[in-house]
Chains A and B, each alone.
Chain A
Amino acid sequence: MHRGFAMFGRPSRRELLARAANGFGAVALAALLADDGRATDTRVSGKPVRHHPAKAKSVIFLYMDGGPSQIDTFDYKPLLEKHDGKDPHKVFKVEPTQFNDVGKVMASPWKFKRHGDTGRWVSELFPHVAKCIDDLAIIRSVVSKFPEHTSANYFLHTGSGVQGRPSMGAWAGYGLGTDSKDLPGFIVLNGGLIPPGGLDNFNSGFLPAAYQGSVFRAGDPPVANVVPLETKSELQRGKLDLLRKLDAGARARFGGADEVESAIQNYETAFRMQAAVPELMDLKGESETTKKLYGLDAAFPQTQTFARQCLLARRLVERGVRFIELTCPVTSGDRWDQHQNLKEGHESNARAVDLPIAGLLTDLKARGLLKDTLVVWAGEFGRTPFAQGANGRDHNQYGFTVWLAGGGARAGADHGETDEWGYKVVKDRVEMHDLHATMLHLLGVDHKRLTFRFGGRDMRLTDVHGELVQNVLA
């Protein structure tokens, strides 16, 4: 068996038992290991990679699956009203689109207002987030290379448009491990929608399986195989007691090989996690005020779903989990993918996430966690300023909005511009690679130096690209 990343970082048995006292967590748990060992396939290094002091300890990635419209949310373009109803070909150069069903120029159906001390424009889709506007660093000039969901999702998550590359959460775990003693380093809180491209958006690709995202569903149990099937706990305990005795023989037989030792230790971790996950999911200890802040009592069931995810995200941050990704709940429309009925679809999607996101930002700030927690709000692309058919918008990879908050992102920063129709970037273009580089930077990692050798190359999250978006750094 070759040595390498595959191995548990070889902590001593005592060390592991010491950890056991700290309580537990979850699942594919993989990243438990990550604070002990990470490496390329030929080297094992013992320490997390920190190339410079980190501003953020954790990332909460609010993934707006489907591509929210920039011009209906955070990128106000009054000129669209002037051109509303015109043939877009007469106003600007129209690029090929996914559905090739180009309608008229369509102004935003929502009103915009200035908010906060920074006086920035937010549409009425996000009344609650608007209250936190001064905390946001807004990039209105993000571009993607792909106009189709799956490729764009892979690109957003992995920096490559094809299947099989490690997700950014996996890279973070590979580079930094986790500060959680009980939970995996990369957890996906799934609101109900799995993005096109499937679970591979959260996979570890060619990195060890240890770094793959553990997907927690909204339901109970949140993860597979964490609930014992035995009807009484002492039945499982009995098995584990016997297992310990029998494995003592195996240990001898295999000469105390490291990997066997680690596999034995994993059982203790796994056993404890069976308890830790319910503890995490149990919100009894949260005050009514907190629950209300997130919208757990909201009338709209999807708001409740996302509120619970946001609250869990905070609890995961408190437990030291490195990278937490939230996917959207299923609303009446599809994801943020309003090829038709923009108004109804965007309204229900926004309604599901607006209050919980504001609650999360407010709560993190109140607890002093926001400064160490980078919150990122992003879709895989934006939408066209012209209609698809009569009342939808098609995919637009030429310019859309992503915002950051906390974790070393500069509150109040504005970066980049799209043209006067909100269609294409004209100033300070930001590629996915730049976004990735910036996120890693805030975590204390130089994106050019976090590499893993695969297929004859030292692979990076940012491939051969990526520049820091200096303007959004605090």
Chain B
Amino acid sequence: MSNARLLAAIAVAGCLALVRSPCRAEPADGPEFFEKKVRPVLVEHCFKCHADQEVKAPKGGLRLDSRAGLLRGGDNGPAVVPGEPDKSRLIEAIRYQNADLQMPPKGKLPDATIADLAAWVKSGAIWPDDGGSAATRAGTFDVAKRKREHWAWHPVRKYDPPPVKDSAWGSGAVDRFILAKLEAKGIKPARPAERRVWLRRVTFDLIGLPPAPAEVEAYLADTSPNAERTVVDRLLASPHFGERWGRHWLDLVRYAETRGHEFDAPIPNAFQYRDYVIRALNADVPYDRFVREHVAGDLLADPRRHPTERFDESILGTGFWFLNEEVHSPVDIRQDQADRFDNRIDVLTKAFLGLTVSCARCHDHKFDAIGTRDYYALFGFVESSGYRQVRFDSCDQNRDIAAALAELNRRSSAAVAAALSRVAKPATEQLADYLLAARDAIRTGPEFGPDGPTEGFRSRIADIARERKLEAGRLTGWIENVARAGRNPADPFHIWAKLASVDSKLVREILDKATAANSLPSGTEIVVDFARSEPNDWLPDDASFGPGPVRPGRLRCDSDGRVTFVDYAAAEYDRAWDLLTVPAGTENDPGAIGKRLRAGRTIRTPTFKVTAGKLHYFVRGGGMAYAAVDAHSFIQGPLHGQLVKEFPVAGGFRWVTQDLTPYKGHHVHVEFTPAKDADFAVAMVVQSESVPPAPSAAPLIATDKVKGLRDLAEAYEREVSERVSRLKDGPPATAEDARLANALLIQFSRATELEAATSDFMSDRERMVARVWAGSRLAPAIWDANGVDEHVFIRGSPKGLGELVPRRFLEALTGTAPIDAGRGSGRLELARQMTDPRKNPFIARVMVNRVWHHLFGRGLVASVDNFGVLGEPPTHPELLDFLADRFVREGWSVKTLVRDLVLSSTYRMATQGDTEAAKADPQNLLVHKSRLKRLEGEAIRDAMLAVSGRLDRAPFGAPVPIYLTPFLDGRGRPASGPLDGNGRRSVYLAVRRNFLSPMLLAFDTPIPFSTIGRRQVSNVPAQALILLNDPFVHQQAATWAKSVLAAPGTASERVDGMYRSAFGRAAKADELSACLEFLKDQAARYGTSADDAKPWADLAHTLFNTKEFIYLD
């Protein structure tokens, strides 16, 4: 033991003695100490939450009322390690050292008490007469039992429609299921609604707009048995169908165009997802396919094409994952990830499965067959699925061009190599003599002008050539080559160049130095090395890095137009893609990462754990590295600026270092983007504390065996000659061959044959590059990455990790076998399992129930987003299964389902049943009549626009900004939009989380935070105030009045026409006279005539305010 250590040991012993001295009278390992100093503290401060109790389980699964309980510990592991207070969680907690683990929670114990407990643990945590057990009340979670005991997990059964007495009533299977239950209770179904009522109902239900007067007339005039079918087919074929049902769908995926939180930053181009949903519903994409596109649309082997524009539709479905709220500058970035991902899991499982899997974030689900492991098995999929803006117009075409460019490169590199071989071969004869001569020429002082050697130097060269019987021209070429090599350490002739200028005596020393080892220092962890990369390492966001890493021997077109062979294997950005742009109006990512155009020009590493604190990138050219810690994709605010690393354009490969010390232990992936109009390649990503030396290629010649200059020159002759010969059979295969070839390419650049080969390549390339689709639109989409599994977070906190759970679907449906991921996240397999109706009864049941809910006003399962134990049981379980089964068998067609339901007699019933029925079925659970519906905010606004004539029926596109009143204020306030939203349908109005439309909110359009399958239907005076006093309503009334007055007709005819527009019916006589009288009175109040626009606007305004306008019977 050294002196210093000995002293230290004595000092520590002294301190311990001091600490223990107060207890000397009562040794901390004795029973008395425990009874006096320990047990009372535990009883008073801990037992309330951490002891065996009748009513509730101990918190955190931890019991402190027995030694066994302390040792077994809770969710965070053992509470006490006997003899080791500093390793005991109990002591850590009471010392308040860890801000996240402080006990007792209400305040720190006195220091003396803490010291007592620590001393007790130190002395072995003796617990006299301990008869307690460590058992907790946990462990009642049994997936199989819960699955067995709750209907929703059971497979969908096939039911035949039941027999009914009144076989004339129903027109199909649905009606028989409904009628059978009514008949069993002796309830009579309501009479059919009037034809006009049915038409108005079905028109709003299917397209969210009122029927036009002409449509009403056409239907009423159609007395054929197919009249309803004709109407329904027309509505299903209307482009407005997707807008109406798309809005229902957007409620499920908390659709918004901004991230909310402090500055309400945009989710760029989110509206592309909205348009995708509308198109998909209009195209009646089979629902299982629709689900697969949401879960894994980026991975489908057969992506769906837009019928005319041919872009990839499927990939747009994955945008829904990224519609969540997002924090701009989280202090605890890992916790923030946990919260963000929780929302994604919540929405995924509620929207598609009607299950509340998020309840299992902290503990096994309290009621349903969903374990914590299920939650974290899904978490892994989210973690393996990154965010990008995808160039969805062009991704296929550009991928093809990139492949063609790679193929051209492969062919051309062989052609250029062969030409080089033929041109250079003669020059390799007698190379040793030439190199020795070149050395001598250079040693005497080379002189170069802009066009090569100066006059004087030329004549010296000529003298040397003559003297040694060499060709002067060839010698000049080698001299130039060696001189160039002197400036470039990577050049194969570099050693020769260095030797050229030194005295013979120093030659040996230089040769020895050249053989020094040059590998990465120990402790360096290689994240990616593109020289030996795995398929999982190749993660470009689009085509601009080609189909794979470039290998030595590929041709590269540098920014100066020169063609060379690639030496380092690397992910190399192809300058062909410099012309990528985006169309006007495309949104870029907010904050620091949005400063560059990244979409289509970015490549990322797999996700890995930061261990060393510093990342080093071996790069060429210039660009930006974004280190996405914990999948954070948003750098705006005081923290995390260091995650963006810009490096300026520079020549050859070098190491660039990014310091991630504060993020040690976090997961990260790095995204690389080239600087504007610059070369960029990354060959390697490593992490280590110090900057690694630049890797060098194996030297052309193993210098350690070389005996002297002549020997080296002859070795050059042998190697160069052999390698040049090999070039006729193919491009250089190694870095050193490539560098030799590059040196020779310059030396012989004026040779005609070589020039022809390179210019053929360049012109073919130009032709292909001309086909590049430069200006694609962008949309948020998944960027599939390497598969990452996640640990269970104990009690939901990422600070306490439990077991690692392999990615898989829910145990109750597909067991616990890990997903067969192949390459990447494995979402494709997840999507397949989710949509397999034999394994998953939820997907079809939940969807048919949603459709039922929208058409009938109440789901067969009323809790449409929760089919779990706390949800409501189905009123008609057999009908639900019948519909689900048929839905699957008939190809998952939503339109077929809708058609069948709205053509039923059930749908046709009036909203008023008979009084006996109301008594027997007061809540109408058995569907003895139709439910009165209040129109949604969107439908009310759209109906006003339709009636006033202002409706712009154009579909799709960038959202129209919300009209901002002075009452809408706060950080991130955008520019106000037009009062009438340009007449666009409400589905196209902007959905900015912090600036939602007050009118739509008042009429229950949900705040986008989670899945809302069933909207609230409130009924409050605020709605009356909006309809009475909102400037938009007044404006539309005036617009309507103007168009009414512009058309010919008497006042009566006009009023009648207004009734037909607004309510789909003629005005009754009393209504007509009341309106005419009003016009007269109101005109008098204005002091104007009855055909003035003002009283007519007031009439229009009043009609908007009638209940008939906003209720649907």
- Taking Cβ atoms with an 8 Å cutoff, the residues of A that contact B are 1-3, 5-8, 27-30, 32-33, 41-42, 93, 95-101, 141, 147-151, 161-164, 194-200, 203, 205, 208-210, 214-215, 217, 219, 223-229, 232, 234-236, 238-239, 241-243, 245-247, 249-251, 253-255, 257, 259-260, 262-264, 266-267, 269-271, 273-274, 398, 416-417, 424-429, 453, 455-458
Q: How far is the CB of A447 from chain B (nearest CB, A)?
A: 17
Q: Do A163 and B260 have beta carbons less than 8 Å apart?
A: yes
Q: Is B994 positioned at the interface, with any CB of A under 8 Å from its CB?
A: yes
Using known A-B contacts A243-B1102, A249-B1068, A250-B1107, determine if residue A163 contacts B1018 with beta carbons closer than 8 Å: no
Supply 17 further A-B pairs (C-beta < 8 A) apart from A6-B1017, A245-B1071, A253-B1108: A6-B1018, A7-B1019, A30-B1020, A30-B1022, A98-B331, A150-B262, A163-B1007, A200-B993, A224-B967, A224-B1030, A225-B1028, A227-B1029, A228-B1028, A241-B1078, A257-B932, A263-B1019, A457-B870
Q: Do B1018 and A30 have beta carbons less than 8 Å apart?
A: yes
A269: B residues at CB distance < 8 A:
1021, 1024
- The closest CB in chain B to the CB of A207 belongs to B1016
Q: How far is the CB of B853 from chain A (nearest CB, A)?
A: 9
Q: Is B872 positioned at the interface, with any CB of A under 8 Å from its CB?
A: yes
Surface stretch bound by A, among B159-167, B204-212, B763-771, B861-869: B861-869
Interface-centre pick from A163, A208, A219 (highest chain B CB count, 10 A): A163
Q: How far is the CB of B1068 from chain A (nearest CB, A)?
A: 7
A398: B residues at CB distance < 8 A:
99
Q: Do A236 and B1028 have beta carbons less than 8 Å apart?
A: yes
A100: B residues at CB distance < 8 A:
638-639
Q: Do A229 and B350 have beta carbons less than 8 Å apart?
A: no
A254: B residues at CB distance < 8 A:
911, 932, 1107, 1111, 1113
A398 to B331, CA, bound (A): 14
Q: Do B994 and A198 have beta carbons less than 8 Å apart?
A: yes
Q: Which 8 residue pairs are nearest across A and B when measured between Cβ atoms?
A: A164-B1009, A194-B970, A456-B356, A198-B994, A270-B1024, A427-B107, A6-B1017, A209-B1018
Q: Do B1022 and A27 have beta carbons less than 8 Å apart?
A: yes
A223: B residues at CB distance < 8 A:
967
Using known A-B contacts A6-B1017, A95-B99, A148-B330, determine if residue A224 contacts B965 with beta carbons closer than 8 Å: yes
A269 to B97, CA, bound (A): 58
- The closest CB in chain A to the CB of B993 belongs to A163
Size bracket, chain B contacts: 35 or more
Using known A-B contacts A2-B862, A98-B329, A429-B106, determine if residue A239 contacts B1021 with beta carbons closer than 8 Å: no
A164 to B325, CA, bound (A): 10
Q: Is B1046 positioned at the interface, with any CB of A under 8 Å from its CB?
A: no
Q: Do B639 and A98 have beta carbons less than 8 Å apart?
A: yes
Q: Do A32 and B1113 have beta carbons less than 8 Å apart?
A: no
A416: B residues at CB distance < 8 A:
107
Q: Is B284 positioned at the interface, with any CB of A under 8 Å from its CB?
A: no
Give me 27 A-to-B residue pairs in the complex whose CB atoms sit less than 8 angstroms apart, sorted by A's number.
A1-B934, A30-B1022, A41-B863, A93-B97, A100-B639, A148-B327, A162-B339, A197-B260, A198-B994, A199-B968, A214-B1022, A235-B1086, A235-B1098, A239-B1078, A245-B1071, A247-B1107, A253-B1108, A255-B911, A257-B911, A262-B1019, A263-B1024, A266-B1020, A266-B1021, A398-B99, A427-B108, A428-B106, A455-B1011
Q: How far is the CB of B1096 from chain A (nearest CB, A)?
A: 12
B325: A residues at CB distance < 8 A:
162-163
Q: Do B261 and A2 have beta carbons less than 8 Å apart?
A: no
With beta carbons under 8 angstroms apart, the residue of A148, A203, A238, A456 that contacts B262 is A148
Provide the main secondary structure of the chain B interface: loop
B262: A residues at CB distance < 8 A:
148-150, 196-197
A388 to B202, CA, bound (A): 62
Q: Do B1098 and A239 have beta carbons less than 8 Å apart?
A: yes
With beta carbons under 8 angstroms apart, the residue of A96, A208, A274 that contacts B1018 is A208
Q: Is B63 positioned at the interface, with any CB of A under 8 Å from its CB?
A: no
A88 to B107, CA, bound (A): 23
A100 to B343, CA, bound (A): 28
With beta carbons under 8 angstroms apart, the residue of A99, A214, A246, A266 that contacts B1023 is A266
- The closest CB in chain B to the CB of A4 belongs to B1017
A217 to B967, CA, bound (A): 7
A428 to B102, CA, bound (A): 12
Q: Do B1106 and A247 have beta carbons less than 8 Å apart?
A: yes
A6: B residues at CB distance < 8 A:
1016-1019
- The closest CB in chain A to the CB of B1015 belongs to A6
Q: Do A29 and B1021 have beta carbons less than 8 Å apart?
A: yes
Q: Is B560 positioned at the interface, with any CB of A under 8 Å from its CB?
A: no
Q: Do B1007 and A203 have beta carbons less than 8 Å apart?
A: yes
A208 to B1020, CA, bound (A): 10
With beta carbons under 8 angstroms apart, the residue of A162, A217, A224, A267 that contacts B1009 is A162
Q: Is B1002 positioned at the interface, with any CB of A under 8 Å from its CB?
A: yes
Q: Do B1020 and A224 have beta carbons less than 8 Å apart?
A: no
Q: Do B1016 and A208 have beta carbons less than 8 Å apart?
A: yes
Q: Is B1101 positioned at the interface, with any CB of A under 8 Å from its CB?
A: yes
B508: A residues at CB distance < 8 A:
none
Q: Is B1074 positioned at the interface, with any CB of A under 8 Å from its CB?
A: yes
Q: How far is the CB of A64 from chain B (nearest CB, A)?
A: 17
Q: Do A243 and B1106 have beta carbons less than 8 Å apart?
A: yes
Q: Do B108 and A426 have beta carbons less than 8 Å apart?
A: yes
A198 to B330, CA, bound (A): 18
- The closest CB in chain A to the CB of B1105 belongs to A243
Q: Do A225 and B1017 have beta carbons less than 8 Å apart?
A: no
Q: Do B872 and A42 have beta carbons less than 8 Å apart?
A: yes
Which residues between 633 and 676 of chain B lie within 8 Å of chain A, taking CB atoms? 638-639
B932: A residues at CB distance < 8 A:
1, 254, 257, 259-260
- The closest CB in chain B to the CB of A198 belongs to B994
- The closest CB in chain A to the CB of B1068 belongs to A249
A238 to B1083, CA, bound (A): 11
Q: Is B126 positioned at the interface, with any CB of A under 8 Å from its CB?
A: no
B356: A residues at CB distance < 8 A:
455-457
Q: Do A239 and B1007 have beta carbons less than 8 Å apart?
A: no
Q: Is B1010 positioned at the interface, with any CB of A under 8 Å from its CB?
A: yes
Q: How far is the CB of B323 from chain A (nearest CB, A)?
A: 13
A203 to B102, CA, bound (A): 33
Using known A-B contacts A162-B343, A224-B965, A426-B96, determine if residue A456 contacts B1021 with beta carbons closer than 8 Å: no
Q: Do A457 and B638 have beta carbons less than 8 Å apart?
A: no
With beta carbons under 8 angstroms apart, the residue of A7, A96, A99, A273 that contacts B1021 is A273
Q: Do A225 and B1102 have beta carbons less than 8 Å apart?
A: no
Q: Is B966 positioned at the interface, with any CB of A under 8 Å from its CB?
A: yes
Q: Do A270 and B1025 have beta carbons less than 8 Å apart?
A: yes
A200 to B262, CA, bound (A): 11
A429: B residues at CB distance < 8 A:
102, 105-107
A147 to B707, CA, bound (A): 69
A267: B residues at CB distance < 8 A:
1021, 1024, 1028, 1105
Q: Do B106 and A238 have beta carbons less than 8 Å apart?
A: no
Q: Is B1085 positioned at the interface, with any CB of A under 8 Å from its CB?
A: yes
Q: Do B998 and A255 have beta carbons less than 8 Å apart?
A: no
A195 to B972, CA, bound (A): 11
B261: A residues at CB distance < 8 A:
150-151, 163, 196-197
Q: Mark B1093-1112, 1 if CB is under 8 A from A, else 0.
A: 00000110111011110110
B330: A residues at CB distance < 8 A:
148
- The closest CB in chain B to the CB of A458 belongs to B870
With beta carbons under 8 angstroms apart, the residue of B933, B934, B1021 that contacts A32 is B1021
A191 to B780, CA, bound (A): 38
With beta carbons under 8 angstroms apart, the residue of B331, B858, B1010, B1024 that contacts A266 is B1024
With beta carbons under 8 angstroms apart, the residue of B870, B1008, B1014, B1098 that contacts A238 is B1098
Q: Is B158 positioned at the interface, with any CB of A under 8 Å from its CB?
A: no
A241: B residues at CB distance < 8 A:
1078
Q: Do B1024 and A455 have beta carbons less than 8 Å apart?
A: no
A193 to B734, CA, bound (A): 66
Q: Is B332 positioned at the interface, with any CB of A under 8 Å from its CB?
A: yes
A428 to B970, CA, bound (A): 35
Q: Do A29 and B1022 have beta carbons less than 8 Å apart?
A: yes
A423 to B545, CA, bound (A): 51
A199: B residues at CB distance < 8 A:
968, 970, 994
A245: B residues at CB distance < 8 A:
1070-1071, 1074
